[in-house]
Structures are given as structure tokens and as C-alpha cells.
Structure 1
Amino acid sequence: MITTTSSVINFEKAERDFTFLLQCFQEMLHDLGEKELAEHLPWKRASMRLDDYPDIERAIQAYSIFFQLLNMAEENSGAQYRRTIETEKGLSELKGLWGKNLHRLKKNGITEEEILSELSRVTVDVALTAHPTEAKRKTVLEQHRQLYILLVKRENQMWTPLEQEDIRKEIKVVMERLWRTGELLYDKPAVSAERRNIVHYLYNIFPEVLPMLDKRLLHAWQECGFAPEKLADPQTLPLLRFGSWVGGDRDGHPLVTAKVTRETLLEMRRKALALIAFHLTRLASKLSLSEKHQLPPDALEERIRTLANHLGEDGEVALIRNRHEPWRQFINLMIASLPKNPRNEHDTGNQNDIFSYGSSRELLDDLELLRQSLLNVGARHIADSDVAPVYRIVQTFGFHLASLDIRQNSEFHDLALSQLMSAAGLNGSAFLTWNEEERTAFLDRELQSPRPFTHPDMKAGPEAEAVLDCYRVLLDHCKEYGSEGIGSLIVSMTRNASDLLVVYLFMREVGLMTPFKEHDACMLPVVPLFETIEDLEKSPDIMRTFLSHPLTRRTLGMQQEMNGWEKPAQQVMIGYSDSNKDGGIFASIWNLYRAQESLLEAGKKSETEILFFHGRGGSISRGAGPTHRFLRAQPHGSFQAGIRFTEQGETIAQKYANRISALYNLELFMAGVTGELLKHRNKEKTSHELEPLMDMLSRTSNLAYRRLIEAEGFIDFFREATPIDIIEATRIGSRPSRRSGKKSLADLRAIPWVFSWNQARFSLSGWFGIGSALEQLQHEHPEACDNIRRQDASWAPLRYIISNADASLATVDTEIMREYAALVENSELRSRIFGIIENEYHKTRTMIESLYGAHLEEQRLNVSRFISLRQEGLRELHRQQIRLLKKWRKLHQTGQNKKADNLLAELFLTVNAISGGLRTTG
């Protein structure tokens, strides 16, 4: 679950803020004639039974808003508390941020120059996805943003009483809009709507946060006693990049077509160019330096002449506009040199007769020249304050805003290649039955030939056409604009090296190859996604084979040359959600750790750096957890090439909707990666004495977890004891909940799996199996348990697992989960499976409390407080959901489907409200 965007919170202030917001909400309800509902919200009084209220939908909506207001108050309290701590005690007091990390590095003897030399090598890439875990409408989210801004506005002490009253009135107006707005999505959102949401963050939020992030680093740098001028050059700063999956992720998503991908690439380019034009225009308004007061350097005058000549009439206009102000003229010429924005998919935006920048790199060169010219005339402050932030905008967002990853499932690729082979007169069906050796031999032979399987007019089959149509869009975009806006070709469910080599054949088919050192290389990188426990275990061997392939070597070498890297780098994506669904939380996290270690070794032998792409979700069982602990728990050397990670669903709004929260969460990653990278560089890799115990615990927990999910009747228990059927019917994302529509656990996506357990308050995927593992260790190796206890579980990988599990345990409500279990009609099945779960729950609590030497409520005060404030309201919502579920299922069983459909709105509202109360879906 996501408790808050901060690990520190002042609950007294949160309560004051929430009391204020609640009073505003109650006053608004009173004004609208909802007196009874206003008086029975679940706060410090007995709330009403929802069934007793005449309009249940409105009552559930009121509870949902109640929880959102509480979340807002806590988020604001966390932000203000951090500011107070930094004001009173300094920047080094807060865990995970720049101040703490720089002080720790300095204390460990790492010099200013050593830190500086590594800063520019730090790369953090945030990939935003549209995974369906955001239960709120975009319209509703916008009202939440407005409320939060007004809540923050109240913090300012300058307001007079009358002005404070005006703010209160504004808050009530926003609340009334929220109350009068429907919370439900009655249709699944289109991919275009999800794209607009992602673009909002990329265009409106992150560009504003980026300079604030750099200032935070500079302030911490100075507080640490380091020279501020060392960070003046923006090229010395860590690099933040963004990626997106919206419009590119087609794994089990039939709505992501080639047309959608083309539209997405063009829309991102349009917004990126608009963003840069805006910031350059704003910069031009500031740089009114006159040549009468300072002479422009020769290099600047020469570049102005060159650009003006290239631009012709447009260049003359740019020069005429600001006579005697060469710096402003130079920026006018930069603006005129930006590529024309394509208006639609048929308009390339090319300028055949007018010069324009071919890439953002060329614009960066001019911005650096501008910065140096200001330094040459002694205008350092202007260069640092005005030009450097614009350089960083261009450096981060380029002409593409965010790189679009293309993801598809390996099984889909198999079908596509089979169809291509059949179209070419080969036995395509045979490919589906070949073993890995036969597949690899065939692919190697084919890749040595430049001939395609088909010609442009041939139709090979639906899967083949879907893949090739997408790749043709990528080819056209690369030819027109370069490959900067396209990320990686990700193969989900990578099982063997052949799953990656197949992609090379698709690229050859459409012409996505380019000459490199007398042979062909691929224009785009191919990236595996290892998701299940078995595939994680196989991943090092798969990568050794893939990295040794001649085409891979050439492709990596070309990328190294293009990017100026010291070594070639191969991206590897690792999945938290499916490995957890497959093996339980302990086996998932530890196998991810072990796989990364082995993959780093495989990369080392191939003289290739491995860039890990962490497919993390919003809940603990899908890879979430405190950022600083997550980073510390990674293997030695895992940040050498940088880091990528996904942000999914509701986590995007929770972490980044408000600039203060966005700044905090991005700083946690930027500072944390820097700290861990330098720590790893200055410390040799050593084995830890607990590693063999972790292997043992992983195996034992996995066995306990598999016994549960493979138990006879478990799937029936799961389908009846959780609201999975309602979750599958919701419209919270454009993607189907199953990859291929099969009614199996393997086909069910990890998101609805986690979502349904959380809704029923089992939170099973965040802790199951750990109790059995620790108990067996206690029985068979008591001295090992004592060793862990003595170390206070302080070794980072173990602490990360245990602390995440105990946070998940804190969200379990045994009373409520027993009531959900009562929905299972077969009493023998209900008793047997629930008995296993309840027994493991108590076992896990007991064993973790034994490790800590304290009750979980004492160990996790913040989480316990978070849950206790919501308990009353959540329980009533759960019980209402159970009542509705019983009725809905009964109506379906008796063939009264129309009446059952009439209950869906109320059921969806309970899902939304419970998600809001827990701050998590899946």
C-alpha cells in the first residue's frame, strides 16, 4: 500500500488541516441540504450504516471524498514537516535526500572532486505507464489538485482574515464541483485520454520541478561545505530522463495500434517543441543585454551571422526585432531554428527550404555557447539563473518529451513470426514446436540474409501485420526525426534468447537496420523483460547468449559510439508484479536480487554494462516501498549504467500531481542513486553472511506460497472471497485485465490479482510465505535466527523485505477478510483455504515481531496511525461492498442480469472509495 508520499509526518498538523477541510465539506453539504450525511461522516463519532441512507451512491461518494481530504491533509503535513525540519536542523536531517546523502559520502571520506566526477554520470529515467490502477477520473483528479493548491495556499502567513475567508470560500466551491461531478468512468478510457494525462505531467509538472531539483542539490552541496561554482555548469549535474508506455505498450492491449503509436510519437514531439519554444521565449524576454554596455564575444557574433544566413528572411526578422541586443537576437534565431511543429500524422513538419535544428543536441550546443558568452562578459549570475535551467529543459525533454517504449509479449511474437514464415512458403507451424536450439539455429541463418520474408503487398496474418505495421511507424519516425523519441523494444515474458533474436528479424523485415562497420546493426535496442521466478533464474544464461550474438554486439557498439559511452550498455527489465504473483513476496524480491547479481557478472564477461529497468508498481507486492530502502537493497554495482523504473497508475497522481510532492519523490531517486553509486564505487563487493540464509528462506517461502495457490479449489476461493469479478468489470484503464482472456491464474494480470486481495483486506501478496520460512529457520537453525535478530535485520536486502512485509501486515483486517471469506459458498473449501491464510498470517506476525522484539503496532507507528484513522469508514465501506456483492452475484445466478447491472455503479463506487481510503489499488 502507499501510506503517504513521505515517511515523516506531523499527525497533529495533519489532523488540524483535515478538521478544517472536513468542516468546509460539511458546511457545503449542509448548504446543499445533505445535513444527515454531513453529520455522519466517519470521524470521531459513530458513522451511519450506509444501507440506512436513502441515496447509497451519494453516501459512498461522501466517504470517498472524506478519504481524499484526509489524504491531502497528510500529504501537506508531510511536506510542511519536511520544511520545518530543514529550517530548524538543516538539509542533512531527512533520509534519502541530497543533504543526507552528501553528508554521508563526505563522512565516509569521499572527496568533493570524487563526488563531482560521478554526478554527471548519474542517470535516472522515469517511465510513466497507463497500467489500470488509477481508479479516479481525470476530472476528479483535477479537482483534487485544485484543493491541494488551496490548502498549501493557506500556509502563507501573509493573508489577512478576509483573505483567509476568501480561500475558505474557494475551497468550498471546488468541493461543490467535486460533489456535483460523477466519480465513475462509465466507459473505459481511450488510449488518447491516457496519453493526455501523461503529457500533462511531462509538459506542466516536471519542467517546473526540474530547476527546483537542481537548486536543492546546490543548497545541499553548499551546506556540505563544497564550492557552489563547481555545479555551475549544467553538464556536471545528474541527468533526469522520462519515458512513456502510453501508446507503445501493446502487450495484451488490442487498442494500441500502429496508428495510435504514430499519433503518440507526433503528439509528444509537438508538445516537446512547444515546451522548448515557451522556455526560449521566456529566456529572450530576460536577456536584454545591450552591446553598448558589453561587447559580445566573437564566437557569439559569428554564430549569429551563420544562423541568420541559414534562416534567410526569418533570420533577418529575428535580427531586426532587437537591435543592439545580440544575446536576445541569438535566442530569437534559436526559436526560428526550431523544427516546425507537425500539425497531424500527415504533416511531417519538415522545412525543405528553411534551416532547422536536426536534433536537440544542436540546440544544446547553441545554449552552451550562449552560456559561455555570458560568462565571458562577467554575467555569471545571469548565465547560472537564466540560461542553465533552459539548458536542463532541453537536455531532459529534447524534441521528444519522453522516449516511447514499445512492448509486446514473446508469445505474440512467436505467432507473428510463424505467420511470416508461412507467407514466405516456409513451415511456420514448425517454429511454434521447435526447441530453443532449433529456433536459434534458424534465426541465426535468417539474420545472415538481408532478404525479407514478404513484399509490401503481402498479408501474412493478424499478429504479423500488427507487429510489422508498428515497426513501419517506427522506421518512418526514425527517417523523419531520428530515433531520439523512441525508447526500447521490450519483450515481455522473455523465456529464451530466441525471444529477443526474433525481434531482429522483424526489424530486418521493415528495414530498421543501418550499416555499421561493414555490417548491419539495429536502429533500436531490444530489451528483455524477465518476470517469473523461473525466467529470472534463467536470465543470466539468456543474456550471455544474447550479448554474444554478432548483431547484438554491433548494435551495442553503435549505440555506444552515438552516445559517447565508455562501455556498451544493455538494458534489462525485471518484473516485480509477476514474479510476486508467481512465487510470493520473499522469493520475488530475493530472486530479483540474485538475478541482478548474475546479470551483472554476465555483462562483465561481455564487457557490457547492464542498465536495470525496474518494473515497479504502486503497492508493496508490486515493488513499491520506501525509495531509500529500495535503492540500498540493490546489489553492488547495479547503478553503474544508471537506473530506469516505472511509475504506474495511481502512484503518478500521488507522487507527482503536486509540485512539492513531485520534487520530493524525484529527489529521493536522484540523491539515492548518486549516494549508492559512489558507495559501490568506493567499496569492494563482498558476500554477506546472511546470503545462504536468504536463499533458504526464499525457497521455503516459495514452497509455502505455491502450496496455497496450487491447493485444490484455491482459484474458486479467490474468485468468491475477493471482488475480482467487479474489478474485472471496472473501467479504470483501457487495458483488459487478462492477457488473452483465459480464466486461469497464469493469464490474470498481476494488477487485478493484487487489487482484489487489497480490496478484501487480505493484502496476501505482500506477506504470505514469510512466516513459514522464518518458522522453519527457527526450528532447523535457531542460531541463524538469533544472528538475524542480533543484527536487527539491518542488512539492507533483508530489511527491505521484512519492513515491506510488516507494512503489508499492518493493512490486514482479519475481521473484514473473514467476512469476505464468508462469501465462499462451499463451506469445506472456505474453511480449508481461509484456515491456511489465517494460520500463515498469525505465523508471519509472530515471527516478524520476534525479529523486532516489539509488536508491529509499536514498530510501525505511522502505518498503524494511518490505518486507525480510516478503520471505521473503511469497515463500513467493506461491509457495504460485501452486501452488494452478495446481491449482485445472486441476481446473476438467477438470470436477472439487468437488475444485476443496475448495482454496478454502487459496486464501482465502493471500489473507488476503498482504494482512496487505503491509497492503493494494485
Structure 2
Amino acid sequence: MTPPNTPFETAPAADTADKDRPLRDDTRLLGRLLGDVLRAQEGEAIFSAVERARQAAVRYNRQGDESARQEMADILNGLSLDAAHSVVRAFSYFLHLANLAEDQHHIRRNRDHAIAHSRPREGSLARALERLDEAEVTADMLKGCVDKMIVSPVLTAHPTEVQRKSILSLQRRIALLLDERDRARLTPEETEEKEEDLYTAILTLWQTRLLRPQRLAVIDEVKNALSFYGDTFFTQLPILYGQLEDLLKRRHPNRDWHLPPLLKIGSWIGGDRDGNPFVTAPILKEAMRLQSTTALGQYLTEIHNLGAELPLSQLLVEVSPELAALAQRSPDHSPHRLDEPYRRALTGIYSRLAASAWALDHQDSPRHAIGKAEPYADSAELAADLQILASSLAANGSARLTTRRLQRLILSVQVFGFHLAPIDLRQNSDVHERSVAELLRAAGRTADYAALSENERITLLSEELSSPRPLYSAHLDYSEETNGELAIFHTAREIKLKYGDAAITNSIISKTDSVSDLLELALLLKETGLLKVGPTPRLSVNIIPLFETIEDLRQAPVIMDRLLSLPIYRDFLQSRDDEQEVMLGYSDSNKDGGFLTSGWELYKAEIGLADVFARHQIRLRLFHGRGGSVGRGGGPSYQAILAQPTGAVSGQIRITEQGEVIASKYSSPEVGRRNLEVLVAATLEATLVDLENKVEPSGAFHDTMSKLSELAFHAYRDLVYETPGFKEYFRQSTPISEIFDLNIGSRPASRTKSDRIEDLRAIPWVFSWAQCRLMLPGWFGFGRAVENWLADNPGGLALLQRMHRDWPFFRTLLSNMDMVLSKSDLTIAQRYAKLVEDPALGTRIFERIKEEWLLTRQHLLAITGQDDFLADNPLLARSMQNRFPYLDPLNHLQIALLRRYRAGESDDRLKRGIHLTINGVAAGLRNSG
């Protein structure tokens, strides 16, 4: 047995509530077992080094003992490279395990509330419906909302997920073992057995490589995303639908509450070409094939399992004529099942679906089909056959047999179809422009499209979109880029024909800044058969502008107003049910203008767009391009949706789920269902409660926010884009160069080969600032803005406090900033600043950042009335307090390794060690990318 003084066991705070004792117990258990593994695998010396460094870090963080910090540094500085690797892995793995313990505690608390019949909590469906009742929302209004409701989290492959799939799978195994221990009453022998299972899982984790030896390919990213369907989406979406239907039926029993598939998972992986040269037409085709294989494999397994659950004999129960006919058509003629019509019908369904799997993708079924059968034409035919079973059971006294596997399978087929998830296409507007220019030039329509004014472009494009005559000719030569773009759209058309129209429904234009950007895409769709022109045009995919920079956000309402005023485009929208989606970019707008200005311009853009769309009588659906970190639009989803301006949600919303956030939200079935529930609940509330009660705040609030935004914008731009040497400071004081080499995604980290901040993707920009513990994109500019505004408005603090109290947008903005600042550490950040080759430059810029941090903290606490960060979120505050002693050694070692690596030492272990620290810091901060 390990002595009681083992790594990672921290004494609980005296005032910690008893309800959190199980979390502390789980964390101690996992820490003790990790300590056992560490001692057994690495020896007593490494174990001692980890423990002494941890204790010193705890003393420094809890007591502010500077000598303890020096003691930690002395211990870590004395390590060999191999020993440093082991120490980094030890602290990293504990942070991973702590995350699992926290997730399990959230599940535990949810179950405790359910068992105790507690009042429904914020973010739950039950609480959302209570709020609708309080707002006197009628059944008609509610029915109208859910019938047209669309809630779609969209999985993307943006590179902030630093965990390998193997690591995630092992973490899932540990989470399941924790859950089993939590739910069962175990004997001492069973408890010991479970601990042994946990030990072996942690031992396996320790012996599994943390880092990828090669960069992920796009198809690897597709496969990683597919793993979340088996664990979470296939099981939890049907359960969530059932919960919502039951709640609605109880409140309004006289209504038909058969829900449409209002909650769908989307994907960018395999279709997002913006800046990723590895996404091609063959990759898009293979991504859809893998998705279809996953969906049909799930259905085939569930149909087989249903056969075991429905051995009902016709000698004992009647069946509907439709079910009898379905059984009669089955190739199953076994005399042993002649009186079992449900099993025979399921055998026939299985055979048809197996034939479909082969016809679509040459996919073998998990089990041999009994006989040959015609494949299904589409997933609707499969759902109809399954519904025959459900209807027959319901009509003949067996309705309760349909409530679980069969009904959930029917719903799964309706939601996932044969395609699993629609794959969005995305490309930069510049690429579309070059392709259209080449087509027009080759067809003799204009020699220099790029030289045309915006009005001239709109006129020319409108003429071409009115004509059925194609521009493309198979007899002409085009560039590789143009051929690649056309191939993508031709492949999309083939996929829609093969897997169903819902397989690809969206095409997104990055860097949209004009009406012609949308018309250019429309022309490419026309050339590839995805847009049919004529008296009754038919647009087969949604054309979606993505407004990303501050200036583009400001122009978004003007651009969409002009677009919707074009008769030809309005004709296109008629075939899309008079709905138009608009995507808003949180990441690039933040990098462009800073946290405060980005948030305000996004908010104003939504107000402007809602007004424009209401005037044109077109339904607006907003697609929020949020990342995991606050600097990329992250933060709690419930508060974010409720903080949207009046009219901006309207029952439909799409939100990107990116990087490490996907695993954090959806690797656990229970946590995944809770996150999906939050999205649906918040959408209901933001649509219907707002409709009746929400009033946009007074002009004074807007005027004040506009002035604060202007001041923050200038402060941010002055530092990032106008301060001499800032680019060098950023690249030398953060591990951005080393992140470029970390194999965490298929997409290049920069749009071009330049080292300009403007060309750097927002993801590594934010990720780098998180690693050095400054988190600058999540707060910089706020403090100076408030300071200057208050200088011009004596006594204005009361107004800011009122804005925080009464305006959800402002309150959410400050809450997210509060969370980011709580994860920052100026002392650690200052040590990163000393990596800058020019000491005077490093000191000068760091002091500016430090001054702004202190101002931001001062004014944030004054506005919120708090004494310290996270005062209103004690659970997160304790979590961060407990993490710092494990983050500090990782940051210390990262700095030491960076210094040696950049000095020219060639040992490969240096770079590997740096990458290990990046992994550990990201795990400790969680929403860091």
C-alpha cells in the first residue's frame, strides 16, 4: 500500500460543503492510484521529485510563500530531460484525472437532484417549460415554435484538441469505472476489485503515448468525431426527445406532441476547405462514406437486438394487417418462427437495410442477412417499416414495448438518416472569386472580373444567374484551384443524390464582405447542378455568409439588406422556405478588434440583421462560430443564448463545437445529454420568453457600451497592431512556434506563410496566450476603456453596475471575462516575457499588459461588487485553486525547455517535452483553445 502522503492528495478547505465530499474522495483516489503507478513505473526518485514539487507549489499558492516557489524551481531545474518528461506526464495526467472526477461529480449532482425531486434547475427542459408558463406562453405558441425549431451543434476539426483518441478512450474507461463505483452498493471485496480496475486503467494510460508522432489527416479527424456518436449521440438524442415529449404532454395533454427532428448534429469535418488544402472532393466523399457506415451499422445492430426483444407469438397476440404483410414479405421462412411475425418482419427489415449498406458503400452488415432483399430507396422507407411495428404493437395491447429501443431507433433514423450528419461546405470568398473570374474569362464574358466595381459585379452575376446557359466547358482548361472547387460541388451533388438531400445542406462563405460574394457562390452552385435557374428556381443548399472582422460585422445588415432586395436572390430563397442563415465569426473578430469590441459588434450585428430580415419577411437563422475559449466566443452556452438580443434566436440556432470542447462536452453520455438539453432549453426560453417579456435595454446602455467598445478597440489595436516589436514579443514569449509543430490537426496554423498576426488563425493565437497564462484575447482593453470612460463620466460606476444587473448581454460578457482572468497568472506570465530576446522589449510590453490587467481587475470587481474573481461561482473557484499547484510546475518546465530549445540544443526530447507541457496546461485550463 502507498503511504498516506501521496501525490495530488490535497487537504480540503474547511468551509467546503459536504455535497462536494464525493468529488474530493474521487480526486484523492485517482491521485493515490496515479501515485502508485508513478512509484512502480518510474521509481522512488521521480515519485519524490513530483511530491516535493507539488507540496512547494501548494504552499506558494495557498500561503503566498515565495521561498516555496524557489524550492519548486530548484527541484524542477535539477531534473534530467528524461526525469522532466516523467514529471510533466505525472502532473498532466493528474489534471486529466481531475477533469474526469469533476465531470463525474456533475453527473452525480444531477442524479441527486433528480432523486430528491428538486426544483428544476436552470438550463433544464423542465425549468424552461416552467419559465414559459410563467411568461404565459400559450400551447399554440409553443407548438408553433417546436414545429419549426432547429438546434444544431456543429462539430468542427479546429486544432485545439491535443488529446489522442487512444487517450480519450482510456479516460472514458476510467469515467465509467468511477460511475460504477458511484451507483452501486459495493462489498469490500467489490470495492477492492473496482480500485484494481482503476489502477490498471491508469497504468495503461501511463504507458500510452500522449503525443501523436504525425499530424492528423482529415479522415483521422472524421473518425475521431464519429466516436462520439456511439457513446453519446445515438443514445442520448432519443432519450432527450422522449423527455421533451413527455414534459409537453403533461402540460398540454390535448395536443399532438410528436416532435420533428429539431435537434441535429452537424459537421464541418471533411467539408471545411477554408485554409485547409487537404480537404478535397475525394476526402468529402470518403467522409460521407464513413458517416453512412456508422449510421447503418448502428441501425443494423439495433434491429438485430430488437429481434431478441420481440419474440411475440401470433398465437397469443394479434397484429395489424400492415405488420402481417411486412412479415409475409420477409425472406425468413424458418418453421421455428412462423408464428413470430415481429421477428420475421425485423429479419426482412434487416435484409433490406443490409442490401442498402452494400448498395451505398459496399458495406458488409455486422451479421449475415438471412436472404436477399431490395435495398431501401431512402431512410424514410426504413422509418416507415419500423413505424409499422410500433403501430401494430400499440394497437394490440403492447404499446409499452415500443417506448425504448424501437421508438429510439425510429427517432434515430429520422434524425440521422443514411448520412448521419449533414456536412457543411466552407471556402474563403477569395477562392470563390478567383474561380468565378476564371469561368467568366474563359467564357468570354469579362476579361478582368477583379477590376469590376461591386455594382458591375452584381449586374453581371445576376445576368448569369438568370440564364440557363453554363459557363463551364469540358473543352477548356482551368486552373487546379478552379477544377478543385467545381469537383467539390459536383461531389456534393452526387452525395445528396446517393445519401439523401439532407446529407449536404449548407455552403458557407468565409470572409464575406459584399453581396457579390454570395452571388459568386450561387454561380458556382449553378454550374454544378446545385442551383436550377428558370421560372421556378431551385436552390439545393443554403448559401451562408460568414461575417468575421469588425468591419464586416458592421456591414452585415447593409449587405444582407441589399442581397434580400435582389429579386433573383429572393426567388432562390423561395425554394429554401424563405429562410436564410447567417454565420457570425467570434474568433477572428476578437483577434481583429479585441474581446469587448468583438462582443459588442456581434450583438449589434444581430440586432441589425433581425430588423432587416423582419422587414423583408425572411426567417433568420444565426450560426454562431464560437470556440472553446472566451477569446473565441466560448463560455457557458445557456447564458450565451439567453444574452442574445431580442429576435435573434427565433427558435433556430446553430453553434460550432470546436477542438477540446467536443470531448469535454460529449465524451460522457450523461454530460453530453445535459449539454444538448441546455441548448434546447435555452433556445426555447430565448425565443418564447423573450417574445413576451424581453425588452431591449435603454439607449443609455447602448450608448455607454458603444463608447466603451470604441475605447477598448483603440487600446487593443494600439497594443497588438501598432506597438513596435509586439509581433516579436508574442512569438517569443508564447510557445506559438512550438504549437505549429504539435500534431493536433490537419489544418495549417496560418492562412499564409507570412508571420503577420493578421494572417495567423485565431485558434493558435488564443491557444498560445493561454499557455503563457495571460489569456490576453479574453480581456485586454476593458480596463483602459472603463478608466477613460469614468474620467469623462464622474459617478458613472452606478450606471455600469446597473448594466451588469439588468442587461444579460453585459452580465454574460463580464462573467466570461471573470472566468478568463481567474485562470491567468501575472507572475508566471512575467517569466514567459523573459524569453524575449530583447530584455528591454520584453519588459516594456509586459508592463503594459500588466498595467491593463490590474486596471481590468479593479474595474471588473467594482462593477460586479465582488471581492475576487469567481466570487459568484465557488465551485469553479475551488476547482481552479486546486489546479494551480499542478499547472505551475508544468509552466515552469515549459519555460525551461523552451529556453534550451530556442538556444539551439538539438535533443529531440526537448521538443517532445515542450509538447507534453502544452498538453498538460491545456488539460488543466480546459477551455483554452
Tell me which residue corresponds to 1:375. 394
The offset of 1:393, in angstroms, is 0.9
Shift of 1:238: 6.4
Residues 564-613 of structure 1, C-alpha deviations (whole Å, 9 max, x = no match):
xxxx2111111111111111111111211111121122222222111111
The match for 1:163 is 190
Greater mean deviation of Cα atoms: 642-651 or 451-460: 451-460
1:612 to 588, 601, 622: 622
Q: Deviations over 1:779-806 (max 9, x none)?
A: 2234543133246534110111011111
| Structure 1 segment 795-814 matched on structure 2, within 5 A | 795-814=807-826
The reply on whether 1:17 has 2:17 as its aligned counterpart is no
8 Å CA contact retained: 1:213, 1:667:
yes
The more displaced of 206-215 and 738-747 is 206-215
Give matches, 1:95-174, under 5 Å: 95-111=122-138, 114-116=141-143, 118-174=145-201
Distance 1:368 1:698, change over 3 A: farther
Partner of 1:335: 350
**By how many angstroms is 1:553 displaced?**
2.7
Partner of 1:531: 548
When the two structures are superposed, what TM-score results if normalisation uses the length of structure 2?
A: 0.90
What's the CA shift for 1:39? 3.6
Answer whether contact 2:348 2:373 (CA < 8 A) is retained.
no
Whether 1:777 and 2:789 are equivalent positions in the alignment is yes
**CA contact under 8 A between 2:624 and 2:654: conserved in structure 1?**
yes
How far apart in 2 are the matches of 1:275 and 1:52? 53
CA deviation after TM superposition for structure 1 residue 687, in Å: 4.6
Aligned equivalent of 2:730: 718
| Partner in structure 2 of residue 4 of structure 1 | none
1:695 and 2:706 matched: yes
Report whether the alignment pairs 1:421 with 2:440: yes
Offset from partner CA, 1:669-718 (integer Å, 9 cap, x none): 11221222221333475453422222222222212211111222211111
Once the 2 structures are TM-superposed, how far is the Cα of residue 732 of structure 1 from its aligned partner? 0.8
Supply the AA of the counterpart residue of 1:283: L
Change (3 A) 1:237 1:721: same
Match of 1:405 among 414, 424, 430: 424
Offset, 1:130: 0.8
Go from structure 1 to structure 2 and tell me whether the alpha carbon gap of 1:33 and 1:726 turns closer, same or farther (over 3 Å shift). Answer: closer
Deviation >6 Å, runs of 4+: 318-321
Q: 2: CA distance between counterparts of 1:134 and 1:684?
A: 38
| Deviation per residue, 1:195-235 (Å, 9 max, x gap) | 1111111234211112332354467668xx636x679x772
Task: Specify the alignment match of 1:392 in structure 2.
Answer: 411
1:741 offset after TM fit, Å? 2.1
1:589-604 to 2 correspondences below 5 Å:
589-604=599-614
DSSP 3-state at the match of 1:491: strand
Q: Give the secondary structure class of the aligned counterpart of 2:158.
A: coil
Distance 1:395 1:138 in 2: 29
Name the aligned partner's letter for residue 50 of structure 1.
L
- Which residue pairs with 1:913 in the alignment? 920
d(CA) in 2 for partners of 1:459 and 1:666?
48
Distance in 2 (alpha carbons) for counterparts of 1:368 and 1:779 = 68
Q: Distance in 1 between matches of 2:704 and 2:499?
A: 52
Deviations 1:422-447 (A, max 9, x none): 4335555x222333122212212222
* Structure 1 residue 318 displacement after superposition: 7.0
Among 459, 463, 488, the alignment partner of 1:470 is 488
Distance in 1 (CA, whole Å) between partners of 2:230 and 2:563 is 37
- Counting only pairs closer than 5 Å after superposition, residues 417-816 of structure 1 correspond to structure 2 as 417-425=436-444, 430-514=448-532, 518-560=535-577, 568-683=578-693, 686-689=696-699, 690-710=701-721, 711-790=723-802, 792-816=804-828
Structure 1 length as normaliser, TM-score? Answer: 0.91
Q: Which of residues 191, 194, 210 is equivalent to 1:183?
A: 210
Question: How far apart are the structure 2 equivalents of 1:407 and 1:499?
Answer: 13
- Larger mean Cα displacement after TM superposition, 756-765 or 470-479: 470-479
Residues 609 and 641 in structure 1, CA contact (< 8 A), matched pair in contact too: no
Letter of the 2:791 counterpart:
H
Q: CA deviation at 1:515?
A: 6.2
1:57–1:162 CA distance, 2 compared to 1 (3 A): same
Distance in 2 between residues matched to 1:491 and 1:633, nearest whole Å: 26
CA separation in 1, counterparts of 2:913 and 2:408?
48
Any unmatched runs of 5+ in structure 2? 1-16, 58-71, 365-371
One-letter amino acid matched to 2:114: E
Structure 1 pair 479/515, CA: closer, same or farther in 2 (3 Å)?
A: farther
Deviation at 1:40, TM superposition (A): 4.0
Cα distance in structure 2, aligned partners of 1:134 and 1:798 = 30
The answer to whether residue 383 in structure 2 is matched with residue 364 in structure 1 is yes
Could you tell me the percent identity over the aligned residues?
32
Q: What amino acid does structure 2 have at the position aligned with 1:786?
A: A
277, 285, 291: which one aligns with 1:268 = 291
2:838 aligned to which of 793, 803, 826 = 826
Aligned pairs (5 A) from 1:159-308: 159-217=186-244, 226=251, 235-236=258-259, 239-301=262-324, 308=329
Using the alignment, how far apart are the partners of 1:287 and 1:766 within structure 2? 55
Is residue 261–residue 473 contact of structure 1 (8 Å, CA) maintained in 2?
yes
> What amino acid is aligned across from residue 75 of structure 1 in structure 2?
D
Deviation of residue 29 (structure 1)? Answer: 2.2
Aligned to 1:484, the other structure's residue is in SS state helix
Which residue matches 1:563? none
Q: The residue matched to 2:423 in structure 1 has which SS?
A: strand
Letter in 2 for 1:884: L
* Closer, same or farther: CA 768–316 of 1 in aligned 2, 3 Å: same
* Distance in 1, Cα, partners of 2:494 & 2:891: 51
Q: Is the 8 A contact 2:548 2:586 kept in 1?
A: yes
1:610-645 CA distances to partner (integer Å, 9 max, x unpaired)? 111111111111111112211110122222251111
CA shift for structure 1 position 457 = 5.0
What's the C-alpha RMSD, in Å, of the aligned pairs? 2.7
1:17 Cα deviation from its structure 2 partner: 0.8
CA contact (8 A) 1:40 1:46 kept: no
Q: Which amino acid aligns with 2:634?
A: A
Tell me which amino acid in the other structure corresponds to 1:909.
L
- Displacement after TM superposition at 1:817 (Å): 0.9
Q: Which moved more, 1:96-105 or 1:46-55?
A: 46-55
Contact 2:300 2:354 in 1 (8 A): no
Deviations 1:706-764 (A, max 9, x none): 11112222111111111111111211111100112222111100000000111011101
Kindly tell me the number of residue pairs found equivalent between the two proteins: 886
Return the alpha-carbon distance in structure 1 between the equivalents of residues 334 and 505 of structure 2: 38
Aligned to 1:682, the other structure's residue is in SS state helix
Aligned to 1:5: none
Alpha-carbon deviation of 1:523?
1.9
Q: Which runs of 5+ in 1 are unaligned?
A: 1-7, 309-314, 561-567
The code of the aligned residue for 1:588 comes to S
The CA deviation at 1:285 is 2.9
Return the alpha-carbon distance in structure 1 between the equivalents of residues 715 and 270 of structure 2: 39
Mapped to 2, the partners of 1:219 and 1:452 lie a distance apart of: 52
For residues 10 and 622 of structure 1, what CA distance do their matches in structure 2 show?
33
